[in-house]
A and B are shown apart, each in its own frame.
Chain A
Amino acid sequence: MIVRAEGAPRRPERLRRFELAPVRGIWRHELALYKRYWKSQSFASMVEPTFFLLAFGYGFGSMVAAIGDYRYLDFVATGVVGTAALFTSVFPGMFNGYIRRVFQHTYDAILATPVDVHELVTAEALWIAAKSAVYSCTPLIVALFFGLDPSPGMLLVPIVTFFTALGFGLFGMWTSSVVPSINSFDYVITGVVTPLFLIAGTFFPVGTLPGWARHAAQLNPLFHCVELVRHAVFGLRPLADLGHLGALVLFAALMWLIAVRGMRRRLIG
């Protein structure tokens, strides 16, 4: 038993409503975990878009040479950036949110320290978004090897995917606070995530859809993400793009509100 002299107890400084220290602490946790799984995640994020581009670009692309002004392979490559942003954010949001809350009780441990629920949710979502922003660019890098022309606008893509992933990560965390059991995620995945992924102009243009579906796509954040990614890569349309970005930011803000509320309801008795 080591006897330690107590440091002179300092009266803790006044703690503000929202602080960066909890975010740093939670990111430290994420970073420690990331050291364990970076290889598998990096493998998946590079190889998956390669498969998509091979399958759709060559398979489907042999029937459809171009969509509008885009080569079909370029169309798909930019679409897959959107799906990567969706999948690498909504799934961690859902499953980490649920597992850490219900099975591992990590969130209970964190909330016993000077961290409040809104800081916990924000920090977790920012980590998901930052990681997803980087990883969802890999399809573009892969596509460069398939003949996509590099352009300076590509540098804007991580910003687009960051806000997309922030919204979907928070959406995932919110669903994790709503579902009665982890099995209920089947409803979310099949009922929500799959249609979002298909009706977003990822593999075929939204314009080919019937009228109601075209309007529905306007409500799909992933549609705005994919539009922005294509415009960033092939040429910006400033006015429309501000609208698309606004839609993504609005989506993230709404999801933050309900995710914080849902998590607080579950974590604070």
Chain B
Amino acid sequence: MTLHGARLATTEASGGAAAISLRGVVKRFGDFTAVDGLDLDVPSGSCLGLLGPNGAGKSTTMKMLTAQAIADEGTIDVLGFSVPRESKRARAAMGVVPQQDNLDEELTARENLEVFAHLYRVPRGERRRAVDDALALAHLTDRQRTKVDDLSGGMRRRLLIARGLVHRPALVLLDEPTVGLDPQVRAELWGLIDGLRSRGTTVLMSTHYIEEAERLADECALMSHGRVIARGSPAGLVAEHAGARVVEHYGPPDRLADVERLARGAGLPTRRTGPSVSVLRAESIPPSLDERLGPDGVRRAASLEDVFVVLTGERVE
């Protein structure tokens, strides 16, 4: 089957509708509302990046999609199945890559995949091939007899991803897939994830690495306090909320406060960037303001990170 055909088939499998659809989903833990009226659609065959600070409700949302957390209100559909009522059927058709490594350390890479090929009900005749393919995908064919305990961090994460793909699911949930990894390993995993999308697999990926979302996601949904507060393509979000360019001014605290006051007075968003203040939408700074801000500004392109901070607040709760 061609890649194009595969993409069509995947779309058909979910009836042409969204692969994931949440409506008015609420999840409370005691007094704390983790997810607060969430509406979210993930179109079939796309990669959606779920962005947001810690505690925004990303992981809880992921857990509700597999019915490992049960929503208090709202409706959830995954691949056309109503969750939690038909969650087992949904789980059979999707793969999950958790944030926390839960591979079995006492078993080899191959054994880990074999167990999950069983759990995901890969038919007997196809199991060996499915495990071989997953090992190849994770570049672990040569290390298949190695115990997980003896694999490097990057290898373990590749194996964790391959484990969620062993049954060739139409949908993959990736919860912070590259957290805590070296840049080299992260780049390698990005290649792997991008390969999935080009095969037509729908990907929902939560991350708080902005660069990861910019590189991989067709669209990003920015979550804060349990709901989506902005959504769009990475470039579209940047243009809408941070403009094209940013000027960063460095200086002592008084100077930074001055820059903030001036910029905000002119209706321009700002954000603290460590020792500096960034003035967003720098392309629309009028000459008069430009003069008062001073010539010490360092210019750079606006980024998704600017959007993230402007929309979710400077302080982390």
Contact = CB atoms under 8 A, between A and B. Distances in A.
A106 B163 CA distance: 13
B88 A111 contact: no
Closest 6 CB pairs of A and B: A269-B69, A105-B102, A25-B119, A25-B118, A9-B13, A112-B96
A36 B9 CA distance: 42
28 contacts: A2-B136, A3-B195, A3-B198, A6-B1, A6-B9, A6-B170, A6-B200, A7-B168, A9-B10, A12-B92, A15-B88, A25-B118, A25-B119, A28-B115, A28-B118, A29-B104, A32-B114, A36-B107, A106-B104, A108-B100, A109-B98, A111-B68, A112-B96, A113-B91, A113-B96, A114-B121, A267-B68, A269-B70
Contact of B1 (A5, A36, A108): A5
B308 interface: no
A62 to B, nearest CB: 45
A22 interface: yes
Contacts of B67: 268
Contacts of A9: 9-10, 12-13, 93, 170
A30 to B, nearest CB: 9
Nearest to B14: A9
Contacts of A25: 115, 118-119, 121
A8 B120 CA distance: 16
Contacts of A4: 133, 137, 168, 199
B106 interface: yes
A74 B183 CA distance: 67
B70 A268 contact: yes
A21 B119 CA distance: 7
A104 B102 contact: yes
A136 B102 CA distance: 32
A108 B160 CA distance: 13
B88 to A, nearest CB: 4
A104 B118 contact: no
A169 to B, nearest CB: 20
Interface string A133-172: 0000000000000000000000000000000000000000
A268 B226 CA distance: 19
Interface in A1-58: 1-9, 11-12, 14-15, 21-22, 24-26, 28-29, 32-33, 36
Given A109-B102, A269-B63, A6 B10 contact: yes
Contacts of A253: none
Contacts of B106: 33, 36
A212 to B, nearest CB: 43
A112 B133 contact: no
Interface residues of B, number: 52
A105 B68 CA distance: 13
A258 interface: no
B73 interface: no
Nearest to B106: A36
B316 to A, nearest CB: 23
B245 interface: no
A123 to B, nearest CB: 10
Nearest to B147: A36
A3 B121 contact: no
A22 B119 CA distance: 6
A15 B87 CA distance: 10
A112 B3 contact: no
B192 interface: yes
Contacts of A268: 67-70
A21 to B, nearest CB: 5
B199 A104 contact: no
A104 B104 CA distance: 7
Contacts of A12: 89, 92-93
